[in-house]
Amino acid sequence: MARKASLSGFPELLPEERVVENHVLDVLRRTFELHGFSSIETRSLETVEQLLRKGEIDKEVYAVSRLQEDDGARSAEKLALHFDLTVPFARYVVENAGHLSFPFMRYQIQKSWRGERPQEGRAREFTQADIDVVGEDALPFRYDVALALVIVDALSQLPIPDFVMRVNNRKLSEGFYLGIGLEDTAGVLRSIDKLEKIGPAAVAQLLREELGATDEQAEAALGLAAIRAEDTSFVERVRALGVRHELLEEGLAELAEVIGEASKRAPGRVVADLSIARGLDYYTGTVYETFLVGHEQLGSICSGGRYDALAATQKRTYPGVGLSIGVTRLVARMLSQGLAVPSRKVPSAVLVALTDDAGWSAAQDVADALRSRGIACEVSATAAKFGKQIKYADRRGIPFVWFLGEDESGAPTHEVKDIRSGEQAPADPAAWEPPHEDLRPRVTAPTGD
């Protein structure tokens, strides 16, 4: 990792670390586009009023102003950096609805800013990769299933440990709480959301002290949260608890559809976990959280859910479902634990060596020929001894060194050396290609001993 930043929470990467991050971003872009998602980018700044309209805590929001701010600026004009991509996206949909085709499928990869205490997995400046599908007035539930499978596809292509997407449904949970007589369903969800941090006994105490739950109600709520399954068997386990409510049945059916299809296409990757609550109030149905197996203490690397009214106007409602991958969190763990290894730290596959300074222009001709075919290369700046030029390439991880010379008749000759194996052979600048695996830096999981 790069040295500790002088400004904590704003990470900076070394070139080889950036190779890993770019690999992650490239995989996500490619996968999202293969599934039909279009790319957009929203502005970094939003009005404070827009950012806080869903009740987010303003202590974490970074306000932005000019050094010579106008004291008479109206509050609606006060600006702040966005802390996620969902709220800006909701505004974008409303403002551009007349130019969009619904359902609108978008992906968005950008930085966000949040003023919280920095620690591993939590930075003040961080990159997110979001995918959402938004409908006009209605959105088919099958998109809830499809988005889970898109994320599984994307993460499966990365050099990371096994992962599990845990899925629940807010209707299921809220219907159950109503069925046992707990009316403050949002309060119960907030308490259940703390289960992994503080444990069941502390959550039961919260339910009793803050929400007035009886011992029996607290026990029932925790019993629901304890249910996990890799298939639709969770449905009967919930019904066995003896609670009945129309909203509960609706949530059971929706979650069964997600888990039923996912268990066929990605067995073991997507599981029902009825402890998943997601504390944000705007989620109304399916909720997702994704964890690396063996790295659960890192927290969720990909979260989201269904929101039926995040974006709305007086005439239209834009329901949606979305998931957000914490790219900075994921990459930080990949780097700190050595989960991913770049094949080299620079794009260059070839260093064109100099025999003497007079040959610099001819070396540039070789480089031009290689670059015209998409082969990244650089030309040595000085005609140092070949050994030094080879060492320079080795330090940068450049696999091939190109040598120019002349035969007995004075005609130019070309040879290329694989400095890893020591093999050297004649080469034609207009035709030579490196092996496919050497064309660009690759990122892989480390090999075992």
Task: Look up the CATH number of domain 350-444.
Answer: 3.40.50.800
Burial class, 422, CB count within 10 angstroms (exposed 0-12 / middle 13-18 / buried 19+): exposed
Intervals of the chain under pLDDT 70: 1-5, 54-58, 69-76, 279-281, 448-449
Which residues, in sequence order, are CB contacts of 12 under 8 Å at separation 6+? 2, 5
Q: How many CB atoms lie within 10 A of CB 218?
A: 23
pLDDT recorded at residue 73: 55
pLDDT recorded at residue 2: 53
- Given the structure tokens 């670390």, which residue do they identify? 17
pLDDT recorded at residue 119: 84
pTM of structure: 0.91
Cα–Cα distance, 133 to 89 (Å, whole number): 11
Burial class, 273, CB count within 10 angstroms (exposed 0-12 / middle 13-18 / buried 19+): buried
Binding site listing: 84-86, 114, 128, 132, 278, 282-283
Q: How many residues does the chain have?
A: 449
Which residues, in sequence order, are CB contacts of 264 under 8 Å at separation 6+? none
CATH 3.30.930.10 domain residues, the chain: 15-342
pLDDT recorded at residue 310: 72
pLDDT recorded at residue 408: 85
CB 146, CB 304: distance < 8 Å: no
pLDDT recorded at residue 117: 87
Beta strand ranges found along 156-227 (DSSP E): 163-169
Binding site listing for L-histidine: 84-86, 114, 128, 132, 278, 282-283
pLDDT recorded at residue 196: 85
- Given the structure tokens 């009945």, which residue do they identify? 244
pLDDT recorded at residue 16: 94
CATH 3.40.50.800 domain residues, the chain: 350-444
> Is the domain defined by 15-342 classed in CATH 3.30.930.10?
yes
